[in-house]
Amino acid sequence: MSYLSISFTHKNTDIHTREKLAFSDDNARETFLKTILDNAIIKEAVLLSTCNRVEIITTVNDIEKAKEIILKTLAKYSELDYEDLSLRANIYETSGAIHHLFTVASALDSLVIGETQIVGQLKDAYRLSLAKGYCSQGITRAMTYAFKCAASVRTATSLGTGSVSVASTAVAKAKSLIPNNEGVKALVVGAGEMSELTVKHLLASGFDVVLVSRNLKKAKLLASTFEKPIDVQPYENINQLLNQLPILISATSAPYPIIKQNMVQECDFNRYWFDIAVPRDIDEIKSPHLQIFAVDDLQDIVNENMSLRAQKAKQAYLIVNQQSSEFFDWLKSLEIEPVVKNLYIKANDVIEKRVALAIAKGFVDGSNEENIKKLCQTVLNEFLHQPTIQLKDIAKKSECDVVLGSIQAVFGLQNDSNVLHQCEHAIKFNT
């Protein structure tokens, strides 16, 4: 089994491509996962789709064939050219795939370094696959360690503190465009997680918030979670509001633009609209005194953010490198455990048989059976103690598989190293 990850992000695709690759709902994700798993090549799969990335994380039997299956399925779904996707994709194999997964989980590969949403999004993607049976042992192990790595990065650095999301970046840009923003009204479209973050940062920056959503009940519920008053308006008022207010930030999950040219009137004041949704919420619109910023247009603030966080990111990468190495050491140790266990089981079976035979033939008194067994087990434990330590050391070396195979063959041990071993962290995560 090998790990394989195929990645499309702001680094290798523009927003036009990403919005075609984006999966807007769980049904689309499930259909894609079912399709790529409908063969003997790809064993497990998780699909992560956010405003800045699409990640397909898999375990496979044949890396080259798996790449072709995944990219062809993605090309069909997105109606993009297969060859173009193949050239654009960042493809990570085995140790590279694990390192990339840990980097993503730790928010080091994000548009905004250290943003806090990605680990939650990754957990949601993993939960979906786990619930549907699309992943099991291999990905569970990797995800467990990825979340552990992300926690280590957050603890050891301050990358996860402060305003470090696309929503906060959009608000920071709005504040730079309207410095005297106290009491200025900003329109937020949508009532999901990204809209919640947007409202939070707008209020903290001194803006007044007007909130609209197709789901009025959800919008009112969101507004009720803030101490400061939020003006919740019916979605039907969006045309009027976007032509009255200077700031608009849209973050819905609509699969198509919801704000179009025919909704826009000319105004004699400057308007700044931020589209932080992928696919985009705002169509290609031309109007005097109107500037529209999509996710990729926030790059100037992102670059400043990256320079400020460069030293902390270096420390974080050291943690990722260490945890990636430890992950594969841990995998090897899991292969050692069943071998050692089977050695002891086989030896104990021999003790049981030989002691029973000795009693039956009158070589020893039956009243001493338990004491004789304890003596034999003491000898056994002392005899196997050093080999067990040696095996654990060998687990960290490249010849581990050969040595384990030889031991299993020599002693006639059952190979059950493929049994699902979920560590305590994974069990806690799944409950």
In this structure, are 9 and 156 located in the same domain?
yes
Among residues 235, 269, 303, which one ends one of the domains?
303
* Length, in residues, of the chain: 431
CA dist., res. 301 & res. 306, Å (int): 9
In this structure, are 9 and 133 located in the same domain?
yes
How many separate domains does the chain show? 3
Model pLDDT for residues 319-361, shown as the tens digit of each residue: 999 999 889 888 877 767 777 888 888 888 899 999 999 999 8
Mean pLDDT of the chain: 87
In this structure, are 289 and 201 located in the same domain?
yes
In this structure, are 36 and 85 located in the same domain?
yes
Q: Range of 419's domain?
A: 328-430
In this structure, are 298 and 314 located in the same domain?
no
> What residues act catalytically?
51
CA dist., res. 171 & res. 166, Å (int): 9
Model confidence at 418, in pLDDT bands (50, 70, 90)?
very low
Pairing outcome for strands 53-60 and 185-189:
unpaired
In this structure, are 121 and 183 located in the same domain?
no
CATH for 93: 3.30.460.30
In this structure, are 398 and 299 located in the same domain?
no
Model pLDDT for residues 266-276, shown as the tens digit of each residue: 999 999 999 99
pTM higher than 0.85 for the full model? no
In this structure, are 227 and 151 located in the same domain?
no
In this structure, are 149 and 185 located in the same domain?
no
CATH for 222: 3.40.50.720
- The number of CA neighbours under 13 Å toward the Cβ of 41 is 13
Among residues 290, 325, 360, which one ends one of the domains?
325
Under DSSP, is residue 248 helix (H, G, I), strand (E, B) or coil?
strand
CA dist., res. 249 & res. 239, Å (int): 14
* C-beta of residue 276 within 8 angstroms of C-beta of residue 250: yes
Share of the chain above pLDDT 90, in %: 60
Q: What are phi and psi of 5, to 5 degrees?
A: -130, 130
Share of the chain above pLDDT 70, in %: 89
Picking from 50, 45, 61, 51, the residue whose alpha carbon sits closest to that of residue 6 is: 45
CA dist., res. 422 & res. 145, Å (int): 11
How many CB atoms lie under 10 A from the CB of residue 200? Answer: 18
Q: What are phi and psi of 414, to 5 degrees?
A: -75, 135
In this structure, are 336 and 321 located in the same domain?
no
* C-beta of residue 327 within 8 angstroms of C-beta of residue 98: yes
Q: What are phi and psi of 290, to 5 degrees?
A: -125, 125
In this structure, are 200 and 340 located in the same domain?
no
- Residues 6+ positions from 221 with CB-CB distance below 8 Å: 191
In this structure, are 35 and 109 located in the same domain?
yes
